[in-house]
Amino acid sequence: MEQLLIIEDDIGLNQGLCKALKADDRQIISCHDLKAAREQLLCGGVSLILLDINLPDGSGLELLREVKENMPGVPVILLTANDTDLDIVDGLERGADDYITKPFGMMEFVARVKAVLRRSARQNEDKELHYDELYLNVGRHEVRYQEEKVDLTRKEFELLQYLMENKGLVMTRNQILCHVWGYDFDGETRTVDVHVRTLRQKLGEAGNLIETVRGVGYRIGA
């Protein structure tokens, strides 16, 4: 399911964008400032970000920089009232995938969002992650270790993908829950630990690549 994150402080416009983009196969998440947006992004799973540049607690361009550094595969469309050539170039040079100036027509807006999503989907079809001799192909939903195919459930695959996408970083249990299972849980749960255990078993020798950071979570890679 596509997950779109809208970061716009104008409540009326935010609601209008949510309504225009609503679809059965799409989840719309709405934020009004950078703080809420950063908290939401910790959960991962975002397919596209619609980002207002001028927000009450800072510039959206700073968040754009963070997204492109930490989640380079997530496309970002900037929304702004600034329409000078310098502003447009600045946003695009920082990695924005498109730039829409206010006011704009909803039909054009939806068409441009769909175009960016299509481009992103085509890129993800060929996306391959690897560490050591462990390879994961996103488009084919395939995992191989030393050229041998490893059969995983959907959740095991998504768990491994999340760890490999954040190679070298420790992912907390709550971050994994939020990204893979889609909910935030402030408390004790064995769900993540059980799935890590079965994932390690299926990976065999490659299971040793998943490191347990005691009291924190899991990571792949130093």
Tokens describing residue 93: 């040079």
Tens digit of each residue's pLDDT (9 = 90 or more) over 157-191: 989 999 998 899 999 888 888 778 766 555 556 88
Tokens describing residue 105: 């027509």
Res 105: pLDDT? 92
Give the number of C-alpha atoms closer than 13 A to the C-alpha of residue 68, restricted to the C-beta side: 16
Res 73: pLDDT? 80
Q: Which residues contact 60 (CB under 8 A, 6 or more apart)?
A: 7, 34, 51, 52, 53, 54, 78, 80
What does the DSSP assignment read for the chain?
Answer: -EEEEEE-S-HHHHHHHHHHH-BTTEEEEEESSHHHHHHHHTT---SEEEEESEETTEEHHHHHHHHHHH-TTS-EEEEES---HHHHHHHHHTT-SEEEESS--HHHHHHHHHHHHHHHHHHHHT-EEEETTEEEETTTTEEEETTEEE---HHHHHHHHHHHHTTTSPEEHHHHIIIIIS----S--SHHHHHHHHHHHHHGGGGGGEEEETTTEEEE--
Res 186: pLDDT? 55
In this predicted structure, the answer to whether residue 44 has a pLDDT above a threshold of 60 is yes
**Rounded average pLDDT over 105-119:** 91
Res 82: pLDDT? 67
Average pLDDT, the chain: 88
Tokens describing residue 163: 């760890």
Cis-peptide, bond into residue 72, ω within 30° of zero = no
> In Å, how far from its chain's centre is CA 128?
16
Res 111: pLDDT? 93
In 176-190, which positions are buried (b, 16+ CB within 10 angstroms) versus exposed (e)? bbbbbbeeeeeeeee
Question: Is residue 63 very low, low, confident or very high in pLDDT (cuts 50, 70, 90)?
Answer: very high
Distance CA 145, CA 220 (A): 14
Res 87: pLDDT? 65
Report which listed range, 39-48, 119-128, 210-219, is most confident. Answer: 210-219
Tokens describing residue 115: 């175009």
pTM confidence score? 0.67
Closest to 48 in 3D by CA, of 103, 7, 16: 7
